Amino acid sequence: MTQPSNELRQTIDCGFNFKNSYLNLPDLFYTKLAPVAVSSPDMVVFNEAMANSMDLNFQQLNQNEQAMLFSGNSLPKGAEPFAQAYAGHQFGHFTMLGDGRAHILGEHIMSDGKRVDVQLKGSGTTPYSRRGDGRAAIGPMLREYIISEAMHHLGIPTTRSLAVVTTGEDIIRETYLPGAILTRVASSHIRVGTFELVAAKQDKQLLKELLDYTVNRHMPEIKGESNIVLSFLKAILDRQADLIVNWMRVGFIHGVMNTDNM
């Protein structure tokens, strides 16, 4: 299916307040492009409590309009969709990677000033797809929805899930499966692998730009430290150790904990 450009897509105003600071970084870090449109999106589950906590209002939208929005066929007002580039150590090997089936719509600012990424997962191919189809099946998307919400309510830092829609299209895995798209919300999608991408380029100026951006966004409290780089590294190590302890205490197992997933 030929996808409409951002300009040709219907835009919907439902309370999103996008301020897309990540796009101020050099374009090595992302590619701007719209989600690939699907044939017949349909709502499966919508996290109304989370939408309310994000100051969003979908009451004026009927179910079909919601499905169009959460599939990427329509875009929320202010969205500037893009796919992120990053690298990673996968099973012991370094690989250049990126969002092969996801599009970030933008950074939503809530009334308390908190900034979160809003991402569609399973939303079509990108320049980073590496021969993948860019899609996702309904089972894994519902599983992520359920597990991420469970982890959140157990007090464990996690991505959140706002909605799941089916696409009206089958995808091929070992067999034909119904396609689906998850709307994921996270404090950001900056990864260990984002830093590995810059390290592979051996560009210290780019590395400094990414470090400064990440510290300003996530750890402004360390900006006064005598060695910000070491303070940043220590904070990341401490947070990841705490996170994994929390996983272990509830019996959660991360299936592929490569650096592109952390």
Residue 2 in this model has a pLDDT that exceeds 80: no
Q: How far is residue 70 from each of residues 52, 100, 119, 122, measured CA to CA in Å?
A: 16, 18, 10, 11
pTM above 0.85? Answer: yes
- Report the pLDDT averaged over residues 159-173: 97
| 152 close to 58: Cβ distance less than 8 angstroms | no
Structure confidence at residue 7 (pLDDT): 53
Q: What tokens does 115 get?
A: 């900034």
Mean pLDDT of the chain: 94
pLDDT band at 10 (very low <50, low <70, confident <90, very high): confident
| 21 close to 190: Cβ distance less than 8 angstroms | no
Return the H-helix or E-strand segment holding 236.
helix 228-250
133-154 pLDDT, tens per residue?
Answer: 999 999 999 999 999 999 999 9
Structure confidence at residue 85 (pLDDT): 97
For residue 126, what are the contacts with CB-CB under 8 A and spacing of at least 6?
31, 33, 83, 98, 99, 100, 101, 102, 103, 134
Nearest one of 104, 47, 112, 113 to 78, comparing CA atoms: 104
Neighbours of 111 (CB within 10 A): 8
- Report the pLDDT averaged over residues 159-177: 97
Structure confidence at residue 155 (pLDDT): 96
CA dist., res. 54 & res. 52, Å (int): 5
CA 259 to chain centre: 15
| Residues catalogued as catalytic | 260
Q: Which of 30-39, 140-149, 236-245, 251-260 has the lowest mean pLDDT?
A: 251-260
CA 58 to chain centre: 21
| 161 close to 151: Cβ distance less than 8 angstroms | no
Structure confidence at residue 212 (pLDDT): 97
Structure confidence at residue 6 (pLDDT): 56
Structure confidence at residue 1 (pLDDT): 38
59-103 pLDDT, tens per residue?
Answer: 899 999 999 999 999 999 999 999 999 999 888 889 999 999 999
Residue 201 in this model has a pLDDT that exceeds 50: yes
